[in-house]
Structure 1
Amino acid sequence: MQTNNAYIRWFSALSIDDVSLVGGKNASLGEMYRELSAQGVRVPNGFAITAETYRHVLDYAGAWSGLHAALDGLNVADVDDLARRAQLAREIVYGAALPAELVPQITDAYHQLHNEYGEQLTVAVRSSATAEDLPTASFAGRHETYLNITGEARLIESVKRCI
């Protein structure tokens, strides 16, 4: 029983047109799952957490003002200042509490995958920019990836680190 909700989109519901919703990696995985599974190619199922979830987490935590304070006026030519501000921004985002309604949606989806694939299930948790590989910029490889994740606690910790 795969259902999409406010924060989760299953691969079966994603296409390349959903880059702004779930990022390029997830949109491509959804496209492969939808198109190739129908042709008999075994593509693992999965789900994406939407970009709106990221914004909701930061809204819920009241993190925007701290991020603006950390990043407004950034001098990209000052590498030391850039590193300091980036570290502060990471701390603000990582310190943001996940909204209470988000965790069960993620763990419910994980349990659906667990039911589909069994006890040996491991998942990958990856961040995916919604503006990857534009004609004027590329962010490939600049985001977080956690492999062989098992269990709810490790899943939620990985999600927090990707946010």
Structure 2
Amino acid sequence: MDKDQKHILWFSEISKSDIALVGGKNASLGEMFSKLTNEGINVPDGFALTSNFYWQFIKENNLQEKLEKIFTGFDPQNIRSLQKTGKKCRYLVMKSKLSKELKKEISDFYRELSNKYKQKETDVAVRTSGVAEDSPTTSFAGQFETFLNIKGEKKLFAAVKQSLTSTFTDRAIAYREENKIPQLKFALSIGVQKMVKSDLAS
């Protein structure tokens, strides 16, 4: 399968040229991983769920039309409208399901990552990276959640769902409005990286 069509990529497959696929944060992680690893520096490995994963999740749960309907009555100048819209969107995403196929893809990568570190279930950090179709270079720093010390497939699936849901926090919706980014032409990439204990990272 062509790289641009994959749902998940290893950091070693990602470079800065992949911002439109994995967002700025994950593109930088991939670039750093490859560069420093080639220099013999030990960098925690990981993988990124691409924007393709996000859109597949949206498609499988028939969310696009439902989200469009919610945003039809959205007034960006009204704080109550923002709160109401965000709450409805988050509820819709959170009650949706990760399909068996998407779960299997995550599991396969997570198990391989765990095997690399000779652990049955390694602990990971889960970070989100925004991907805007019309503004691929826009920074979304601080807009989404980060989940640390995630261990085991069930907890990883839950963190992925929470990350997907964070697409529609009130803050994220307001930020997109402020930067004139279409609400529903926006995706998330989710980075999953091996945790490093602070005493070892210093």
Give the total of aligned pairs. 159
Does residue 117 (structure 1) correspond to residue 117 (structure 2)? The answer is: yes
Q: How far does the alpha carbon of each residue in 1:101-140 deviate from its partner, in whole angstroms, 9 at most, with x for none?
A: 1101101100111111133721011111014xx7996421
Q: Deviations over 1:83-111 (max 9, x none)?
A: 11011111111222112211011011001
Answer with 140-149 or 72-81: which moved more. Answer: 72-81
* Deviation >2 Å, runs of 4+: 3-6, 118-121, 134-139
Q: Which has the higher strand share?
A: 2
Q: Which moved more, 1:63-72 or 1:136-145?
A: 136-145
Q: Which residue of 2 aligns with 1:142?
A: 143
Partner Cα separation in structure 2 for residue 117 and residue 125 of structure 1: 17
Are the equivalent residues in 1 in contact too, given 2:19–2:136 (CA < 8 A)? no
- Quick one: which amino acid aligns to residue 159 of structure 1? V
Q: Does the alignment pair 1:72 with 2:72? A: yes
Q: What is the aligned partner in structure 2 of residue 98 from structure 1?
A: 98
- 72 and 138 in structure 1: CA distance in 2 versus 1, 3 angstrom threshold: farther
- Structure scoring higher RCO (CA < 8 A, sep ≥ 6) equals 2
TM-score using structure 1 length: 0.90
Residues 39 and 24 (structure 1 numbering): CA distance in 2 closer, same or farther, change over 3 Å?
Answer: same
- Specify the code of the residue in structure 2 equivalent to 1:22: V
- The AA in structure 2 aligned to 1:98 is L
Native 8 Å contact 2:18 2:27 kept in 1? yes
Which one-letter code corresponds to 1:96 in the other structure? S
Following the alignment from structure 2 to structure 1, what is the Cα–Cα distance between the partners of residues 96 and 122?
28
Identical columns (%): 40
CA RMSD in angstroms, aligned pairs only: 2.2
Q: Which 5+ residue runs of structure 1 have no aligned equivalent?
A: none
Choose 90-99 or 16-25, whichever is displaced more. Answer: 90-99
